[in-house]
A and B are shown apart, each in its own frame.
Chain A
Amino acid sequence: MNTTELTTTTTDSVHAAADTVVAASGHGGEENQFAQLLHHVFDSNEIEIPFVGHVHLPHFHPVEIFGIPFDFSITKHVVFLLLSALIICVVLALAARSNRRNVIPRGFGNFIEVFVVFIRDEIILPNMGTAGLRYLPYLLTTFFFILVMNLFGLIPYGASATGNVNVTAGLAIVAFFVIQASAIRAQGVKHYVTHLTGGVHWSLWIIMVPIELLGLFTKPFALCIRLFANMMGGHIVIVSLIGLIFIFKSFVIATLPASFVIGIGLLEMFVAFLQAYIFVMLTALFMGLGIQAAQEHGDGHGH
């Protein structure tokens, strides 16, 4: 699919927006400050640590693999990506150890168990049945990973890695492969390929197969764009409201944007949980479609 094109287009266009804003002001002025604020939303090669200041992150030269340049330099979003992964590894391992020791969950393990049981009983079992329980680890990992990345964007000096279309594209690509793998595992390769034809007369295959293939790709694509646009949109709104304070340059008027920022920040916390839940629920739904199609085939052939 044109994920790379959309990736470069989107990031280029929003960077071009920031550049036009900077270039529009001949001198440093409010526009320059606004572009400075926008840098908090986009990816950058330096990270700001409280009480230490700006830390310049290592920038590696792009590596050419099969003609595609891969830039492995560590940017701000990569730092938060790795930090979120580290945090969920440590925190969830601690919760699992606590739950293994106590038969009745107590304390933090109890808190994590709420999420685990919620995802198992509300998302996996209704959509995929007991055959879907093998995918519970993947869905739980995705849920906590997206949740922690989203929540990092709400703390001061933090940035949400999911506000980067490359990160959400990576999550969507993994979801795509897991959905196809679950469909193939449930239906078998032959039935999976025949489903691509849609069960029509063979003369219509030439129309049906591209449409079905396109349908295979649009669902993870929608997952990617939904998560990315929700996170980036929320952060741009918060940054714009704070930019209002810089435009007015008055302490008295600053209380109004500050109260709006508090309100939108609370909404963003809700959206962080909601978007993680929606991503996982839609992945489970798509996987369940494949498993249900397999069960229809099984009943149809009189097993």
Chain B
Amino acid sequence: MESVGLGYLAAGIGAALTVIGAGLGIGKLAASAMEASGRQPEVAGQVRTSMIIAAALIEGATFFALAICIILATKG
């Protein structure tokens, strides 16, 4: 196994794990947001706003990992 091939492999597996983490995190966030809006429909607007902010922050962390994967895929 050459190191270049291992670099590509690592980038691919890293990207997949990143998406798993982001999907799980944002899915849990959306689930609790839905539950909260179902329980108390009058605060649904505020819940939606906070949900979008939290989703953007989680995605920010995801993109850190994605940037590292891109560096791996091209420099490895």
* Segment of A190-198, A225-233, A239-247 engaged in the interface with chain B: A225-233
Q: Report B-chain residues with C-beta under 8 Å of the C-beta of A229.
A: 60, 63-64, 66-67
Cα–Cα, bound, A14→B52 (Å): 29
Instruction: Check A225/B60 contact, CB under 8 A, given A274-B52, A281-B53.
Output: yes
- B27-35, B36-44, B68-76: which one contacts chain A? B68-76
For residue B56, CB closer than 8 A to chain A, the reply is yes
Please tell me if A83 contacts chain B, counting CB pairs below 8 Å.
no
Please determine whether B70 and A230 come into contact, CB atoms closer than 8 angstroms: no
A13 touches B63 (CB 8 A): no
| Residues of chain B within 8 A of A281, CB atoms compared | 53
B56 lies within 8 A of A275 (CB): yes
Q: How far is the CA of A233 from the CA of B15 in the complex (A)?
A: 13
Q: Are B70 and A13 in contact (CB under 8 A)?
A: yes
**Binary per-residue interface labels of chain A (274-301) against chain B in the complex, 1 for a CB within 8 Å, 0 otherwise:** 1100100100000000000000000000
Pick the residue among A9, A17, A20, A225 that contacts B64 (CB under 8 A). A225
- Tell me whether A63 is interfacial, beta carbon within 8 Å: no
Beyond A13-B75, A16-B75, 5 additional pairs, beta carbon < 8 A: A10-B71, A13-B73, A16-B74, A222-B60, A226-B56
Q: A residues engaging B (CB < 8 A)?
A: 9-10, 12-14, 16-17, 20, 222, 225-226, 229-230, 233, 274-275, 278, 281
7 A-B residue contacts at CB 8 Å? A9-B71, A10-B71, A222-B64, A225-B63, A229-B64, A278-B57, A278-B60
List chain B positions with a Cβ less than 8 A from chain A.
52-53, 56-57, 59-61, 63-64, 66-67, 70-71, 73-75
The 3 A-B pairs with the shortest beta carbon distances in the complex, nearest first, are: A229-B63, A226-B60, A13-B74
